[in-house]
Chains A and B, each alone.
Chain A
Amino acid sequence: MKKMRVLSLAMAAAMSASLLAGCGGGTTSQPSAAPSDAGTQASDSGSSTATGAAFKLGGTGPLTGDAAIYGLAAYPGAQIAVDEINAEGGDIQFELRYEDDVNVPETAVNAYNTLKEWGMQISLGSVTSQPGVSTSVLANEDRIFSLTPSASSPDVIAGKDNVYQMCFSDPNQGLASAQYIYDQNLGENIFVIWKNDDVYSSGIYEQFVAEAETLGLNIVGNATFTTDTATDFTVQLNQAQDAGADLIFLPIYYQPASLILSQANQMGYAPTFFGVDGMDGILTVEGFDASLAEGVMLLTPFNADATDEATVNFVTKYQELYGETPNQFAADAYDCVYAYKLALETAGCTPDMSAEEICEAMVATFPTITLNGLTGDGEGITWNDQGEVSKSPKGMIIENGAYVGMD
């Protein structure tokens, strides 16, 4: 018995030692497995860490856990932009570091503090809303400028002069969705399934209902779920079916949405599904039959099928490195880095400035710049001094496993 104990101890020690040896080499300086291969490849040409005179750019996002698809889209998106900029070799160079926050506010605070300890000068905020609310308060207190690619809740920027958003805010999405459904006359009887413990979902829902009332859209009912009940949607779908809904509005993230699609399919219920930007990513869910998503409509600021040079360039590069079609989270993060480049150039900042000096310069500069990015609808992206972005969402429909713009 004693021998067994010692043996098991030794085995466990050996296992952990081999594990440490296995991942100690490559990933220590480059967090996250997915972009790390690409990161090291790219750093041969551009080098994201070599120069001492680089702006330290940090961000938190869910790189593991339920919402990982967002973090694992935003991080590579930003990484591509950083590599491009560093390869050009201009005055502005970046050093990018992402930390995992598992989409939990408490962990996000820890991740943010880790980045602060690392010497982060400018921040990409958090990828998702709830952690974003936590980290933006800290960024405001520490005077670190932060531009979040996709934390879309208005709470993230409310009352903070140095926190900006690259995505349109939740209420705007609700507004735009109602407007879009009305304009295109997509459905007679609308049913909403939303997640009531989520800032993102409830923000969109409230605004959607308010706008639908003004427009005279017929909302026949709504049903909610929470993180704990996000595994079975037959009740909600039955409610929708009984209410005679022909369009179901899903202001939720793609993971529960994929379940809803499969379960509706099993029930033989086929209304039109209409989602918002959280739906983006549904085609890459593991174990999900992407054919079920055919005909799903969603609002997103980015169209991977666009034919302009910047988008084609980005999409090709992304596919080459990560083997997936980039979604709007990747595009937003990519734009964030370029927005920083533009603003830093305009303000004449140098990497030896402190985070606080850069922050004040950015607060003064950001409302004045216009960025021509991937997500801007051709008109250029601008910000007001509250940190809100001005851009219009694009309606997309999923056809043959790809997003196609619908107009």
Chain B
Amino acid sequence: MKRIRQMKRSTRNSWFTYTLVVAAFAVVQLLRTFQDGGIGAMLEGQLIPICAYVTMAVSLNLVVGISGELSLGHAGFMSLGAFAGSAMAIALQDTVALSPLRLALAMVFGAIVAAVLGFLIGIPVLRLNGDYLAIVTLAFGEIIKSIVTNVYLGVDANGLHFSFLSNSNELADGGAELIRGPMGVMNSQRISTFTAGFILVMIALIVVFNLVNSRSGRAIMAARDNRIAAESVGISVTKYKMMAFVVSAALAGAAGTLYGCSQTTFAATKFDFNTSILILVFVVLGGLGNMWGSVIAATALTILPEALRQFSNYRMLVYAIVLILVMLATNNPTLKQFFSDLFARLGGKRAEKGGAAE
């Protein structure tokens, strides 16, 4: 107990987040194994998308919360990861028999593709700041969507076939269409698992926390808090912003692969502006820069629309109202004061106890 109190605030924060995710995973896994009927078909089907959205929220939080840039095109990176990763997974179907390994390779590929594009997009984008940057990322998200909508990719014994705008790929027998333009990807197998999702969330958290608590992380935050001051002490603002942006894109790409490999079919239109905003809502609701907040917000807001099915046609209306209420409640100074008092009192008691025990 004492060691926990003596820990640095940031370390305590990160360990709390890890514990939260591991505990949630353990509870869900126990319920799935031992409880009759598992956790229910509805929740069971949502586990992997939840892991994907949590990773998306954590990665976007790195850009919005830590680096302080408003990005409205995050779903674009998810899209790249989903398409590149799924295509990779289908292409490797015969060569790599072990599906977890195939998924891992696909994720790495999805992450690399997203990271490379994140870097290319970052070059013009990160020269801007504030509102301009938000608008430009929004435009890039739309551009990625439009491009992916027109890609046709197929594979057969002769190698890869690529065409743009209209499908002119002529595949030999036994060939497979990997990306079918506007109709997206049709997976022959769904290889994503909840365990893979959990591992991805953990990797994302470890990467983000280690980056934030490193020298580079402090440089990123310094650039966020005062650009001029940071530049005056020799911090290359663009470089550090780029670092956060690319890491975030790579994680989003991996999350996209996880999502893509869990769906039977998905199209580029799935990753539109609305999805970007949805992920931003997770981040804002969880608190800027607060990783465990993002984890909880992403989980809750993914389950919520499905949990509200009993309201039938009023489902999305109720969802919106709940969202407004939660936003108001979490930002209410009275409530905030109440909770911080409560925690302080609890903490105080604990401190007394800890002191008495020694």
Question: Distance (Å) between the CB of A13 and the closest chain B CB?
Answer: 7
The yes or no answer to A227 lying at the interface (CB within 8 A) is yes
CA distance A100 to B309 in the complex (A): 8
Tell me how far the C-beta of A26 lies from the nearest C-beta in chain B, rounded to whole angstroms: 10
B328:A113 contact, CB within 8 angstroms:
no
Q: Is the CB of A137 within 8 A of B264?
A: yes
Identify the closest chain A residue to B313 (Cβ). Answer: A33
* Interface presence of B270 (CB below 8 A): yes
| Interface pair A8/B182, CB less than 8 Å apart | no
Chain B contact surface mostly: helix
Q: By the criterion of a CB under 8 Å from any partner CB, how many residues of chain B are at the interface? A: 41
Q: Does residue B97 face the partner (Cβ distance < 8 Å to A)?
A: no
Task: Name which of B4-12, B193-201, B232-240, B318-326 contacts chain A.
Answer: B318-326
Q: Is the CB of A31 within 8 A of B45?
A: no
Interface size on A, residues (CB 8 A): 48
Describe A's contact surface by its main secondary structure.
Answer: helix
Structural contact, A197 and B325, CB atoms closer than 8 A: no
Q: Is A79 close to B, CB under 8 A?
A: no
Which residues of chain A from 160 to 200 have a CB within 8 Å of any chain B CB? 196-199
A199: chain B residues within 8 A (beta carbon): 183
Among A13-53, those with CB < 8 Å from B are: 13, 15-16, 19-20, 23, 27-28, 30-33, 36
Cβ of A375 < 8 Å from any Cβ of B?
A: no
Check B269–A227 contact: CB distance below 8 A. Answer: yes
Q: Which residues of B contact A16 (CB under 8 A)?
A: 318, 321-322, 325
Binary interface encoding of chain A residues 193-218 relative to chain B, with 1 for a CB under 8 A from any of its CBs, else 0: 00011110010000000000000000
A130: contacting residue among B40, B44, B265, CB under 8 A: B265
Binds A, one of B14-22, B107-115, B248-256, B329-337: B329-337
Q: Is the CB of A100 within 8 A of B313?
A: yes
| A9 touching B328, Cβ below 8 Å | yes
CB distance from A222 to the nearest CB of B (A): 10
B312 touches A109 (CB 8 A): no
Contact string against A for B residues 288-324, beta-carbon threshold 8 Å, 1 for contact and 0 otherwise: 0000000000000000001001111111111001101
Q: Whole-angstrom distance between the alpha carbons of A105 and B316 in the complex?
A: 17
16 contacts between A and B (CB under 8 A): A5-B334, A9-B329, A20-B311, A30-B312, A32-B313, A33-B312, A36-B312, A105-B265, A113-B45, A114-B42, A116-B41, A117-B42, A130-B267, A133-B265, A202-B183, A226-B149
Q: Which 5 A-B pairs have the closest CB atoms?
A: A197-B182, A113-B45, A31-B312, A113-B41, A116-B41
Given contacts A19-B314, A31-B312, A197-B267, 15 further A-B contacts (CB under 8 A): A5-B332, A5-B334, A12-B328, A16-B321, A27-B311, A64-B315, A100-B309, A105-B264, A111-B309, A116-B41, A117-B41, A133-B264, A134-B263, A134-B264, A196-B181
Interface residues of A (CB under 8 A from B): 2, 5-6, 8-9, 12-13, 15-16, 19-20, 23, 27-28, 30-33, 36, 63-64, 99-100, 104-106, 109-114, 116-117, 130, 133-134, 137-138, 155, 196-199, 202, 226-228
